Structure 1
């Protein structure tokens, strides 16, 4: 039986990945923060998962845990999860999203050397590593030019993964462009929009305060992107793979689609406002990915388009409002 160690297992991607791996018969070990409120529910839903409490920032303890579990695969999904948080906690971001990845890579490499068996590693990278790209769309050869602490830490981890690949570790990355689902917390702008739209749709009152409405992103469906993760992890050759839709929409487009789905209609604009508090100090330019390599080499395809992603999220939040 394959044993997979997953960090960030209670997050959006971790939850979908956990379900996928358990369905395949994989023994899954997950890292959770002490006191993580999502952990008990996760244990109840999936009693087969083995959860380990630990601090991602405690690099020595993290290395010891990998050695103790001795997995066949390591998937790193953990770290600071948003650009806004990275501006508030830049040093912590560097430690959790950069240095911790190095500790995991080194641990996987040492396990491989001591056990004499291959250990596979997957790093969840981010489109934010491209920052201010000079080309559109971005692919695996696009230079890294991050413009915020989140992107910078992710870029460091991305480079480190390639370094360990050069040492003989089967270390792959998936460069994930924005991907959403009802599992997104409301601290993310997409879920903030859909939750607010659902409430407005039922009451006819309220407003969605947002930052740059013209910011454009390449939004996809999270379970599709988890499928790409598994494909990259299990691929014969470890490499970097952009996972994206190849299409962009603005924050304004997202808000309009959400409010219309919630039943607001043509009057949707009066429920949206710009708040300077939510404008980032520096924002990446248009990020749109070219998934051709993942499609060609991994056989990956997206299955859910932008409008349906928004619709599924709004429908979920409407159920919460009504229930």
Structure 2
């Protein structure tokens, strides 16, 4: 085995997994990731890293495969980012969501306990656990009131992580991440659905944007900022749980208005709502207080709301062959998202 520090990331092909893999490689880690077998190879977000990372077929619903991978790579750190993570889908597939997103955490924790008990473990918990919020803003001590099968499963995973820390002495942490977005966000999530649609409308490829509840309010940050805090949690002397947020709240409607404004279009001419996209049980407002992370881990988010909208929209415009006429945060190479044959003429300033 290499003498460099080794990390295993479940969900490495997702938004957070790809950013975390980049971050850990930059820190000199040997990075391993789990790849779930499917009919199509979904490695687009890490395709630029494939020569530098090692991928292993496994699944959170398969205990034996998890044990096999842990025996193979003997990680010093394990980051569990895999889940059925779409809230709306969780209402359609509640059993599978519970199996992968809830019991999957226990399977992985038990495998860590058996194979690499000295490894440090990070669990991706979610602000959706707060659901029907009891207080504003939400902290590490705010009671949970989950409002979807996804959120219920995440609450299970949260307490499983705490239990393995207290009962078995594992170095296990929960990061309670509020909404975090990027150009790598899946197009079925509302922020990316908005920026993709605005870019396509600006390029003449789409005529309208159909949304659900535009009054929902969220605490939105940049995924590239949040993965650094995942790593910082596992570098502390003692394991603990942390809220990761910006402590700012914006509505879906405000996200829509800002995105259309950046391309000089009137959102009223293109946007309509459809009840089919509303959740059976809505989460109206989420806003996190990251004071503990700021004070104990020395962390501050770099990208705020306006910068996030600019960053995501710029990437989607470039992907549709349109040069953005506004600046965006210099935190990633927008050129990675360029349409075939499109030349990025200038960097952000």
The TM tier, using the shorter chain, reads: over 0.9
Higher helix share: 1
Q: Does residue 59 of the first structure (1) align with residue 63 of the second (2)?
A: yes
After TM superposition, the structure 1 stretch with the greater mean CA deviation from structure 2, 151-160 or 36-45, is: 36-45
1:53 CA drift (Å):
1.2
The offset of 1:37, in angstroms, is 2.5
Please, what TM-score do these two structures have when normalized by structure 2? 0.88
The 8 Å contact of residues 262 and 318 in structure 1, kept in 2 or not, is answered as no
Which region of structure 1 is more displaced relative to structure 2, 267-276 or 289-298?
267-276
Residue matched to 2:151: 151
Match of 2:347 in 1: none
Q: Secondary structure at the match of 1:81?
A: coil
Aligned runs of 1:157-172 on 2, under 5 Å? Answer: 157-166=157-166, 167-172=168-173
- The structural deviation recorded for 1:207 is 1.3
**CA distance in structure 2 between the partners assigned to 1:160 and 1:124 by the alignment:** 12
Question: How far off its partner does 1:235 sit?
Answer: 1.7
1:243: Cα distance to partner? 0.2
The size of the alignment, in residue pairs, is 317
2:284 is the counterpart of 1:285: yes
1:41–1:284: structure 2 CA closer, same or farther, 3 Å change rule? closer
| 1:20-35 to 2 correspondences below 5 Å | 20-35=23-38
Contact 1:122–1:229 (8 Å) recurs in 2: yes
Give the alignment partner of residue 100 of structure 2, picking from 80, 96, 102: 96
RMSD, aligned α-carbons: 1.5
1:16 has 2:13 as partner: no
Match of 1:276 in 2: 275
Distance 2:12 2:277 in 1: 28
CA drift of 1:320 comes to 1.1
Aligned-residue offset at 1:45: 3.1
The reply on whether 1:229 has 2:233 as its aligned counterpart is no
**Could you tell me whether the CA contact under 8 Å between 2:75 and 2:116 is conserved in 1?**
no
Q: State the distance in 2 between where 1:88 and 1:174 align.
A: 26
Partner of 1:108: 112
Q: Any unmatched runs of 5+ in structure 2?
A: 322-338, 340-349
CA distance in 2, matches of 1:211, 1:43: 33
Deviation for aligned residue 1:205: 5.9
Matches of 1:201 and 1:262 in 2, distance apart?
Answer: 7
Residue 87 of structure 1 aligns with which residue? 91
| Shift in Å, 1:41 | 7.2
Distance 1:321 1:64 in 2: 42
Give the aligned partner of residue 241 of structure 1: 242
* CA deviation vs aligned residue, 1:138-184 (integer Å, no higher than 9, x gap): 00001111010000000000000000111210000100000000001
**Distance in 1 separating the partners of 2:95 and 2:63:** 15
Instruction: Show the counterpart of 1:140.
Output: 140
**1:209 match: secondary structure:** strand
Q: CA deviation at 1:42?
A: 3.0
Distance in 1 between the 2:51 and 2:65 partners?
A: 25
Deviation at 1:268, TM superposition (A): 1.8
SS for the counterpart of 1:203 is coil
Matched position secondary structure for 1:136: coil
